[in-house]
Structure 1
Amino acid sequence: MSHLSTVFVTGGAGYIGSHCIVELLSAGYEVVVVDNFVNSVNGPDGESVALKRVEAITGKTVTFYECDLLDKTALENIFAKHKIDCVIHFAAIKSVGESMEYPLLYYKNNLIGMLNLLEIMEQFGCFQLVFSSSCTVYGEPNFLPITETHSVGHNITNVYGKTKYFIEEMLEDITHANKKWNIIALRYFNPLGAHPSGLIGEDPIKPFANIMPLISQVAIGHLPILTIFGGDYSTPDGTGIRDYIHVMDLASGHVAALNMLQKSHQNYKVYNLGTGQGVSVLQLVKTFERVTGTAIPYKIVERREGDISVMYANAELAERELEWKSKHSLEEMCVDFWRWQTMNPDGYRTKSTKMTNGHR
């Protein structure tokens, strides 16, 4: 790998993006980051609080621009300033429930943002891309654990998953048309945890969509009770089963994908990033209680529209070809997230900038 490679990271101030940048910097990549702060916290002077902490963790600098991918001119200006070698595209809105309420917002943001980015990449002769996809493209599974050969697009249960599927189709089409493209799509399962330093973690601006922040908000006393959607799934305890993966494992998966793109021309390739273990929501809650010594009162309500019952990965392809494997246990995910939460009870914010429920 050339240690002078410059990686352009979209959505890099967010939860997964910020953790990934730690790994990229540690691996010797230069990083240029954009984010529009629609689901991440900005500090004074329009800087990303998370990225300032990434610099503290790594001792390296991050070049950051506040930019929305729907603003094509702004994107073009950034590409004109830097010699970008490859792109990691995280930027997307990603709440399953919200996507069912605001489908147009999701289609516009996720699809047009991707189109703009691809056109600008092509314009500047940059053809290396790692795309942040999702296991939601598989829909309700036909078999488990899910391999990359599982059908996609047929019974996707939510709009968010459809945007990821449509983008994957788009990427496959452009790689057919132009062999210069070298693209890996990573289908994530369910990221949890935080950097072991406790300096960066998950702090969404929108009402919490992911389960781990909700669990720890209850544990720290900010929320009275955890709401679990669905207790009547055909699973051992009735709650949904997911493949929870430590965010630092996910981050190292992106570095492995970039290394693969630099070593060989993939054209277009997809990989699952998961642990291969199915864990129910209640198992996660009980594990969190056990390792943190906290109590999590919960109530079970009706299923949420768009949710899948059981989903976990077969990640052997990534192990074989990317030489990547998840290392961290469920216990570590809980301990690391609790460390982040207790060190940062209000996340990245001061009391005056508490979360609002606004949609832009």
Structure 2
Amino acid sequence: MENTNVNKDPPAFAALLNDTSSADSISNMSFVIVQFISQQAYDNFFFVTMILNEGICMIGVITNIINIIVFVKLGLRETTSISMLSLAVSDLLATACGLWSNLLYLPQFPSFGLPLRTDEIFLVTGGTTRQFLARTSALITTFITAERCLCVILPLKVKTLVTRTRTIVAMVTIFTITVGPSLMIYGNYRIGWYFYADVNRTLLGAPYVDGEVNNIVDRIIFSVFGTFIPQFSFVSTCVCTVYLVIHLRRAANFRKRHASATVSGTQTTMPQVRAGAHEVDRHDARGANSIPTSQTISKEDRVARTVIVVATAFIVCFFPGSVAFLLYIAVPGFTLYGVYGQLFVLVFNVSYLTEPINCSINLLIYYLMGTNFRNQVKQMFGGVKKDSPEKV
């Protein structure tokens, strides 16, 4: 028997998916939609992006499991390793939720015969959770880039400011403040068996319980996690990444000038270095004092370079989502049932496709830029030869 105390409309937290309060909504639920592409092209685009999203999420689950195993095997001596392990855990959970939520929306899913109300189960078990975990990954990425900036700004104090214990506490805090509110959201649903007249069946659903308190909670959580955190993470990561790029270029130019001056003035052969990937090609004729310094610089620059690539991938992949949220706030009618409803779906479909890409490509980045990581992966899969151990 259907529960009459529940509202079949999704909550305010999902307002960006169903807002009908815009000026272009009509009382008889008839809407004028601006068509940017034909309906056939629109349907094809939606279907293709869902299939691609499913495949990308599957790859993300596999790659992040490998990331977690490798980081654990390598040990967590460095704070950056702890942060990147946490990022892999968050990305794994996000892609797993994406895998399930995309499955629910495949056109073939009803043919499986499962007694599920897919739109409601999607919100509770897939879509909402995935969005919270995306915020988790965004904040962790921001933390990683901010830590690298501290290494540049306060190189002598960063080891005392950013310790292993504080990094662990920061990771736990990020997971708590992003995943914790999902418990409040889920409290607004009632999972159970309900009769749905539109399909004339009793299905397992999760209708939203309408109420003043629930609506207030949803609006607050949507404002914080739907708008503030994504934009804060995006802007902060952009600023930190630009700063790191400028620093690495300045450091590379300084070392080139220093090496040239040393060679012309004293005929002493200095180690040849490259910003972000320093290599010791020749030893100092006066001894080995310069070698540890070069190796230390090499390691720090290599880590910074890896962080820059990870952050750049995040910026590129989250750019469509940031634009979509800004349009949702600034443009009247940019909602599912607004004048620009079709454009709304197109833009958010792109962002839903690029976000799992960001969660899935870190294995490739770590493999290409980290020798120890690459060696560990080769050992796991029976690689025959390790790379040079001098590249940390």
With the length of structure 2 as denominator, give the TM-score of the two structures: 0.24
Who wins on radius of gyration, i.e. which is larger?
A: 2
With the length of structure 1 as denominator, give the TM-score of the two structures: 0.25
More strand by share: 1
